[in-house]
Amino acid sequence: MKKVISTTKAPAAIGPYSQALLVGDTLYASGQLGIDPATGAFPEGITAQTEQSFRNIHAILEEAGMTIDHVVKTTCFLADMADFAAMNAVYERQFTGAFPARSAVAVKTLPKNGLVEIEIIAVK
């Protein structure tokens, strides 16, 4: 059984997909750009966009009754691998204890020309 997870505290989907799906005890969240859901705009720079991406992730996790501690896997997409260190500095502050498994890749372009997009898998 799958349940759609949706919150107005994170940007609405910009295509035919769900913000997240809860399947049993596992949450699969779509990639979160660093878009401020209140304004629909990106903050300036990789650090601010990564922080906003994580605020969006926290909101989705909260809607699913989870916290960042439930995250077991992340995938980070960067428009420019030169931004890796700055993204990583924000990323590192999000977690305590064991870090989730992670992939980080550079892509040609992200939706709406964002600088970073992060997706997660979390388990209760």
pLDDT (tens digit, 9 = 90+) per residue, 30-76? 999 999 999 999 999 999 999 999 999 999 999 999 999 999 999 99
Question: What does the pLDDT read at residue 97?
Answer: 87
Nearest Cα residue to 78 out of 50, 41, 56: 50
Comparison of pLDDT for 97 and 2, the residue scoring more: 2
State both tokens at 55: 């605020």
pTM, entire model:
0.96
